[in-house]
Amino acid sequence: MSAEADLRRNYRAAFLRYLARPGESALAAGWSLGRGTLGTALSLLDIVRVHHDLLLEVLQDCPADEVPEVARAASDFLVEVLASHDMVRRPLHP
């Protein structure tokens, strides 16, 4: 299985778990998922594409009154996934 296919499978599981039970544990899974992509051939653009593809799927079945909550949760999860990438790219001292 390719790195992107693995990411899609793992991202789906972690993101859907976070939507069902938002909390630090589920966010930590997102951070761990993002950290696991460091050192692979996956780029930030690959991660964002996977995130948005899954978000579109989720929103198709989402009641209209829940869309803002799902969008906020999706943003929080993506930020957590990308945090490790930000940390390695940011200089240690400003």
Q: Which string of DSSP letters, residue by residue, matches the chain?
A: --HHHHHHHHHHHHHHHHHHS-SHHHHHHHHHHHHHHTTSS--HHHHHHHHHHHHHHHHHTS-GGGHHHHHHHHHHHHHHHHHHHHHHHS-S--
What is the model's pLDDT at position 90? 79
Percent of the chain with pLDDT over 90: 83
* 94 found inside a domain: no
The predicted model scores a pTM of 0.90
Mean pLDDT, rounded, for 1-21: 94
**Averaged pLDDT score across all residues of the chain:** 93
Using pLDDT thresholds of 50, 70 and 90, give the confidence band for residue 33.
Answer: very high
Segments forming the whole domain that contains residue 39: 3-89
Total structural domains in the chain?
Answer: 1
Asked if pLDDT for residue 72 goes beyond 70, the answer is yes
- The CATH number for 64's domain is 1.10.1240
